[in-house]
């Protein structure tokens, strides 16, 4: 596709369950970012992948959060033992490597933890 895609669009889960959120970046983009947007808040950085380098995990809020990027393309964000405070919109973005390149965002996954 032409843009960044994310699935599912919406996810409702019960507290304590694990969830996986998927991001398909734009073809050829080497950088991939995950952000979280909680109600009434701006976007909060979670994790960043650049090519084959080790990911920058400095934004992950707890060890229940993890992410991987397979083959330098698709990325999966996993939240284990979900809590109600994990409810948010999770946005993925991708960009070309290099200085100042624009990040293109996907439509996000709205996660609701009951």
Partner 1 sequence: AQTVTQSQPEMSVQEAETVTLSCTYDTSESDYYLFWYKQPPSRQMILVIRQEAYKQQNATENRFSVNFQKAAKSFSLKISDSQLGDAAMYFCAYRSVGNTPLVFGKGTRLSVIA
Instruction: Please report whether residue 41 would count as binding partner 1 according to CB under 8 A.
Output: yes
- Residues with Cβ within 8 Å of 13's Cβ and at least 6 positions away in sequence, in order, are 19, 82, 111, 112, 113, 114
Distance of closest approach, residue 1 Cβ to partner 1, in angstroms: 13
H-helix or E-strand spanning residue 93: strand 88-95
In 3-state terms, what secondary structure has residue 84? helix
Instruction: Please report whether residue 72 would count as binding partner 1 according to CB under 8 A.
Output: no
Distance of closest approach, residue 16 Cβ to partner 1, in angstroms: 26
Instruction: Please report whether residue 28 would count as binding partner 1 according to CB under 8 A.
Output: no
Instruction: Please report whether residue 67 would count as binding partner 1 according to CB under 8 A.
Output: no
Provide the binding-site residues for partner 1, judged by CB under 8 A: 31, 33, 35, 40-45, 48, 50, 56, 59, 89, 91, 93, 95, 97-103, 105-108, 110
């Amino acid at each position: 596709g032409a843009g960044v895609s994310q699935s599912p669009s919406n996810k409702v889960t019960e507290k304590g369950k694990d969830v996986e959120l998927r991001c398909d970046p734009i073809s050829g983009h080497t950088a991939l970012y995950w952000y979280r947007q909680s109600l009434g808040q701006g976007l909060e950085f979670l994790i960043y992948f650049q090519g084959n380098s080790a990911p920058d995990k400095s934004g992950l809020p707890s060890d229940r959060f993890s992410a991987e990027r397979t083959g330098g393309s698709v990325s999966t964000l996993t939240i284990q033992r979900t809590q109600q405070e994990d409810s948010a919109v999770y946005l993925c973005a991708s960009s070309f490597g290099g200085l100042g390149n624009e990040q293109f965002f996907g439509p996000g996954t709205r996660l609701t933890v009951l």
